[in-house]
């Protein structure tokens, strides 16, 4: 019986072959324990990112600060060229002297120019007004040294309206209008009571018409009377014109009793009232309506008023 030969035995440390059979019965060697490291109670430090060194800067307390020895000088911004169109003068609060000029567009302070002998300084107050003062002349300069060719304003002439009215009155006198209008004056002088009654009647009618012209009064009249307000006003005017002449005798008695102290008897009062009503009525009805018309038309409209004034001026009480 044959057996196969095994491989050559392994050599030991001393060069002798190692008996592999004995290694089967040797105890297994335990691994060496690793050292235990105790955990620290402090939190781990945060990772600091890498910093890049910049010339001219240094770090202090984790912040970048410029180096004191290498400060950069700040340059003023470059402004565009300014024509200094808006210049404001700067005056002293104490003396009022012009100190400087300030441009409002570029905020630049300008020097005060040297004052000219004939021109005021920029921003200075204008010279006070003096009567008769001309450009380059003092107020007390003689008339011969003033500027020649001065244009004067329109000269207001007071002779033109007088000549205008006088010529219209002469024309009325020539055509007999003065005699026609003057015929009412002797009647007022000789019949004072009827004349005053007529004047009071006209005055009462006009006053009643004007007093009832208000909107409130017209609405009240429409509520009281079942007619339009125009008809109600006309009725009131007629009533006033009829009642007013009855007051004339009492007015005449008062004038006879007290008018002598001031030189106004009933005849004089009636004459003055008649002349006033005649001239005032012609002005209100005719003259004032043509005051802006063409000059010849305005002159023709002035003839009645000028004739009435001339008739009142030429009338002498007691001559007719």
Residue 193 or residue 79, greater confidence: 193
Say what the pTM is: 0.45
Euclidean distance between CA atoms 118 and 303, whole angstroms: 59
Say which range, 1-10, 206-215, 246-255, has the weakest mean pLDDT: 1-10
Measure Cα distances from 166 to 78, 162, 318 in Å. Answer: 81, 6, 26
**Maximum distance among all Cα pairs of the chain, rounded to whole angstroms:** 208
Give the C-alpha separation, 76 to 107, whole Å. 13
pLDDT for 2:
46
In this prediction, residue 147 carries a pLDDT of: 46
Q: How many angstroms separate the CA atoms of 304 and 148, rounded?
A: 47
**What is the overall mean pLDDT for the chain?**
72
| Cβ pair 145, 271 in contact under 8 A | no
Query: What mean pLDDT is predicted for residues 273-285?
Result: 86
Q: What pLDDT score was predicted for residue 122? A: 54
Using pLDDT thresholds of 50, 70 and 90, give the confidence band for residue 145: very low
Q: How far is CA 99 from CA 106, 115, 120, 212, in A?
A: 18, 13, 15, 71
The predicted pLDDT at position 3 comes to 46
Q: How many CB atoms lie within 10 A of CB 73?
A: 4
Give the model's confidence band at 39: pLDDT under 50 very low, under 70 low, under 90 confident, else very high: low
Confidence of residue 129 (pLDDT cuts 50, 70, 90): low
Share of the chain above pLDDT 90, in %: 1
């Amino acid at each position: 019986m044959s057996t196969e030969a095994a491989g050559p035995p392994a050599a030991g440390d001393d060069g002798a072959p190692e008996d592999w059979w004995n290694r089967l019965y040797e105890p297994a060697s335990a691994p060496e324990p690793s050292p235990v490291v105790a955990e620290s109670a402090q939190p781990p430090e945060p990772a600091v990112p890498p910093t890049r060194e910049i010339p001219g800067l240094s770090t202090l307390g984790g912040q970048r600060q410029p180096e004191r020895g290498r400060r950069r000088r700040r340059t003023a911004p470059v402004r565009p060229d300014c024509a200094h169109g808006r210049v404001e003068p700067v005056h002293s609060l104490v003396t009022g002297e012009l100190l400087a000029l300030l441009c409002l567009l570029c905020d630049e302070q300008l020097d005060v120019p040297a004052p000219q002998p004939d021109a005021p300084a920029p921003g200075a107050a204008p010279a006070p007004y003096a009567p008769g003062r001309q450009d380059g002349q003092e107020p007390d300069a003689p008339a011969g040294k003033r500027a020649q060719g001065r244009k004067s304003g329109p000269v207001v002439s007071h002779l033109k309206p007088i000549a205008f009215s006088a010529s219209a009155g002469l024309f009325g006198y020539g055509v007999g209008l003065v005699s026609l209008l003057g015929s009412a004056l002797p009647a007022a002088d000789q019949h004072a009571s009827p004349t005053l009654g007529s004047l009071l009647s006209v005055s009462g009618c006009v006053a009643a018409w004007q007093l009832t012209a208000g909107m409130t009064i017209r609405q009240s009249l429409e509520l009281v009377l079942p007619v339009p307000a125009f008809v109600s006003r006309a009725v009131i005017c007629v009533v006033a014109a009829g009642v007013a002449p009855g007051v004339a005798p009492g007015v005449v008695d008062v004038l006879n009793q007290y008018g002598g102290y001031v030189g106004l008897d009933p005849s004089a009062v009636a004459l003055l009232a008649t002349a006033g009503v005649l001239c005032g009525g012609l002005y209100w009805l005719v003259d004032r309506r043509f005051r802006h018309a063409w000059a010849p038309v305005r002159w023709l409209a002035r003839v009645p008023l000028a004739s009435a004034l001339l008739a009142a001026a030429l009338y002498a009480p007691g001559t007719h």
